[in-house]
Structure 1
């Protein structure tokens, strides 16, 4: 289950971001995951929940934006959905598509940080875009 190693890497990066900004915790992290990235979203969510314990992300939410696979035909201007399993032939001119536009993403795009003022008990949040 490589989703566990991905979850651990996401947690480590989010913890680094929290330290860089002097935050006390992480509210949520947002990932973009492409349809062809070889990642099972539900497995990644489960792995994240297990791996976040005893970290700055112990209560954090994992938000996943699933990115569909799209390709462009180089023989004609057509752009089209690749589908699953991937079909890399242009439906318009029946040529092989040689340019994959999206679907391989695995990106940490946003970390929502939490700050606590221990003296006054106040809390503020900050969104960091990576």
Structure 2
């Protein structure tokens, strides 16, 4: 069985700038923080955003996470149509191959259906299975 590191859930967002020849900024919003609150200035954040990453725990109940993810995708896309969306389906190493594929299919289909219901199914999202 693989070793796992469990990270505490932060309740505040984290901001980090790396100074190098590449302009690289990261802003981490824990699941319970709404990055679209006016106090965060979402237009400023998402207008400069190159990629938005979501990490979904494949071994937990992820329905609530998906319900938050789709509106975040739609709102950020409405601010910046050039954002790349990446979904990391995390902790799949402990799942059987069949369960991995079923989990991927369920997440993909739920997100696509929710986007289609909003007329936004043209938004491209990349999915990655990670351990």
Larger Rg: 1
Greater strand fraction, Structure 1 or Structure 2 = 1
TM-score (structure 1 length as normaliser) = 0.37
TM-score (structure 2 length as normaliser) = 0.37
Greater helix fraction, Structure 1 or Structure 2 = 2
